[in-house]
Amino acid sequence: VSGVAGGRRARSRAPVLRCVTCDSCEDEGMCGRYALWAGEEHLATLFDIDEVVDPGFTGSWNVAPGQGVPAVMERYADPHATAPSKRGEGKRQLRCLQWGFIPHWAKSDSRPMINARAETLTEKPSFRDAAHKRRCLIPANGYFEWQQEQGGKQPWFLSAGEGDPLLAFAGLYEAWRPGEGQPWVRTCAIVTRSAPDAIGQIHDRCPLVVPQDMWADWLDPRPLESPEVRRMIDAIVLKIGRAVQQE
């Protein structure tokens, strides 16, 4: 991961990244802002998209909570079919989701959650169902974080290195509507993990970045049990850690 602060670029051997602290973060840790300037065509090619459901994204240096954000997911032709054989073939889609997760059972949209802790997402009622069967990837070129220093806060932009190549944050998505007959709102949260030591001095949380060779595992629409999800998260963290040690 590399970081830019005050016009200077610094490099660290840490595997992941971090974002601006803001009031809408609830108490989940990493939050606030990230950047994605890669356009729709590039995203569709890189993530091997079968269907662009919500076209028109052109990129942004300042993606904020509450905005619509591009997300990659895989869905069956009939995801609600009771028999697995009747669900049809899975398609990888690029959709626009509202950043701020609202559980399907929530009575209102007054407390959207922009982050989900990797350590507890299979336990918390808000995220458990989505962790089992509604996982997504949220593309980003990097994200912003503020470090408390004497006399104020130092802004940082953290990315995967020179050229800020695309990353895939682990995400969860959900569909919610305010009442019967009302339109569905599709929302998402970014999964966060404990930050490695090298960047923990900036913030103690960071996004869970999914390596490219595990994208298909994370996107798999088959319902998983909690232990399977936990093993997959552990494998992601271990794989990124090993990659960083080999640099």
Which letter does DSSP use for residue 88 in this model? -
Q: Which is nearest to 208 in space by CA: 165, 164, 239, 163? A: 239
> Is the CB of residue 1 less than 8 Å from the CB of residue 16?
yes
Q: What is residue 203's three-state secondary structure?
A: coil
Which one of the listed residues 74, 136, 145, 174 is annotated catalytic?
A: 145
Q: Which is nearest to 222 in space by CA: 124, 102, 47, 90? A: 90
Q: What is residue 79's three-state secondary structure?
A: coil
**228 included as an active-site residue:** no
Cβ neighbours around 162 below 10 Å, total: 9
As a whole number of angstroms, the distance between CA 67 and CA 212 comes to 25
Which one of the listed residues 31, 136, 188, 206 is annotated catalytic?
A: 31
**96 included as an active-site residue:** no
Which letter does DSSP use for residue 195 in this model? P
Query: Cα–chain-centroid distance for residue 141?
Result: 12
Phi and psi torsions of 137, nearest 5° = -115, 140
Q: What is residue 245's three-state secondary structure?
A: helix
> Is the CB of residue 58 less than 8 Å from the CB of residue 70?
no
User: Hey, CA dihedral for 54, 56, 62, 64, is it positive or negative?
Assistant: negative
Catalytic residue positions, numbered? 31, 145
